[in-house]
Structure 1
């Protein structure tokens, strides 16, 4: 991802006005650091693996809108992890309706892996 695209980013929502989107590498590192301190030990490998695979899969994206959307969503994730709100987080029907069939499938696979991680630690 080109640094020039990062400089063009403007927040979409007023609550994000004070917080610009982090550059990809800084965001990636911040998420992995947050996992160390905020995720339970049994979920950390799953979270780390998922973040690494997603950032790797999106490494060669050139569309600025996709880059901004990707970084914005991961920054929201980081904010949820840091704030602890991820534990009681639920997706709204509106959020689910916006997802593609691929994303729904990916979410289902993630849920299955999280259940396996939880049951193997019990």
Structure 2
């Protein structure tokens, strides 16, 4: 991902207008630092997931995909920092926007999180 593309895009939502998108590496580091407030088992799971996602999206060149990726991860960072992660739920609209592959990944993540919780 090229950090220069991030500077070219203006956020569409008013709550994002005050906070520009972080460059990919900075966002990655901030997310891993924010995970320190999570319980140890959730932190390990979250760190693995973040590392895998950023690695999988490292070679993306499409500016729209890059901005969407960074925007969603920045929203995630805000929810972790704000403490909203405990009560976070996906709306019907958000689920409708997901592809079958994304829903499958979400289901696998849920199963993994439940397995860690039961142990």
TM-score range, shorter chain: over 0.9
Aligned twin of 2:89: 90
| Structure 1 runs of 4+ with >2 Å offset | none
Structure 1 equivalent of residue 72 of structure 2: 73
Task: Give the CA RMSD over aligned residues.
Answer: 0.7
Question: Separation in 2 of the partners of 1:7 and 1:16?
Answer: 14
Q: Deviations along 1:18-69, whole A, 9 cap, x unmatched?
A: 1000000000000000001x21112111000000000000000000000000
Structure-2 residue corresponding to 1:4: 4
In structure 1, stretches of 5+ residues that fail to align are none
Tell me, yes or no, if structure 1 residue 109 matches structure 2 residue 88: no
Q: Match of 1:42, SS?
A: helix
Mapping 1:46-57, distance limit 5 Å: 46-57=45-56
TM-score, normalised with respect to structure 2: 0.98
3-state secondary structure, aligned to 1:80 = helix
Question: Using the alignment, how far apart are the partners of 1:96 and 1:55 within structure 2?
Answer: 22
Distance in 2 separating the partners of 1:21 and 1:42:
29
Question: Structure 2: how far apart are the matches of 1:43 and 1:99?
Answer: 24
CA displacement, residues 60-97 of structure 1 (integer Å, 9 cap, x when unaligned): 00000000000000000000000010100110111000
Say whether the 8 Å CA contact 2:34–2:80 is kept in structure 1: yes
Counterpart CA distance in 1 for 2:105 and 2:44 is 17
User: 2:3·2:23 contact (CA, 8 Å) conserved in 1?
Assistant: yes
Deviations 1:84-117 (A, max 9, x none): 1010011011100000001000000000000011
Is there any run of 5+ residues in structure 2 with no aligned partner, and where?
none
Please state whether the residue corresponding to 1:16 is helix, strand or coil.
helix
